[in-house]
């Protein structure tokens, strides 16, 4: 992350605390985002899309239903991220905006890097390399792929709105395209 982007996200977090939610904590949000990412990615992998209705926006869910049905099993398996397999998490972008009716929204894009042992080919669609990590010695080799995912979380901060974050974008590059 560039220093400018880091400062900008910290400024937005300050605005969120000052004007929307005095209890907002970056650490707590990140912890919750990791848990949500793990749960949602596993449900996607298992094709249990009906269980995502409370977590994912209707628009994203409709797109996911179309994409998941076309995925080969290896790519579907690679979507699942165990919370202990998340190697790195960072904010991609933070936005605060109002719609035409004055409804206040905060949107935070989270980027995740996770290890997955799915049986992916060395070359995946788009001819992009996937990082592979081998654990163990020659007799107990276990190959894992270092994969990325981007999930955008959005919350309405208008008075009286539910204090829930909803996932409004899901990207698993080279897997869910």
Average pLDDT over residues 92-107: 91
pLDDT in tens, 81-92: 999 999 999 988
The better pLDDT of the pair 131, 166 is held by 166
Domain-by-domain residue ranges, the chain?
Answer: 3-112+148-171
CB 27 within 8 A of CB 91: no
Pairing status of strand 131-135 against strand 128-129: unpaired
pTM: 0.87
Burial of 126 (0-12, 13-18, 19+ CB in 10 A): exposed
pLDDT in tens, 1-24: 688 988 999 999 999 999 999 999
Q: What is the pLDDT of residue 144?
A: 82
Burial of 32-65, coded b for 16+ CB within 10 Å and e otherwise, reads: ebbebbbebbbbbbeeebeebeebbbeebbeebe
pLDDT in tens, 31-81: 999 999 999 999 999 999 999 999 999 999 999 999 998 899 889 999 999
């Amino acid at each position: 992350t560039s220093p400018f982007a880091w400062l900008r996200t910290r400024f937005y977090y300050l605005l969120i605390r000052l004007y929307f939610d005095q209890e907002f904590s970056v650490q707590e949000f990140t912890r919750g985002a990791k848990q949500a990412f793990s749960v949602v990615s596993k449900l996607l992998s298992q094709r249990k899309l009906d269980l995502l209705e409370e977590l994912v926006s209707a628009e994203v869910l409709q797109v996911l239903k179309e994409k998941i049905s076309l995925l080969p099993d290896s790519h579907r398996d690679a979507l699942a991220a165990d919370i202990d397999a998340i190697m790195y998490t960072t904010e991609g972008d933070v936005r605060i905006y109002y719609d035409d009716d004055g409804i206040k929204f905060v949107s935070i894009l989270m980027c995740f890097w996770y290890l997955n042992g799915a049986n992916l080919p060395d070359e995946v669609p788009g001819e992009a390399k996937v990082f592979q990590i081998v654990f163990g010695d020659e007799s107990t080799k276990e190959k894992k792929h270092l994969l990325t995912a981007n999930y955008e979380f959005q919350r309405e901060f208008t008075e009286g709105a539910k204090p829930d974050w909803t996932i409004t974008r899901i990207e698993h590059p080279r897997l869910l395209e």
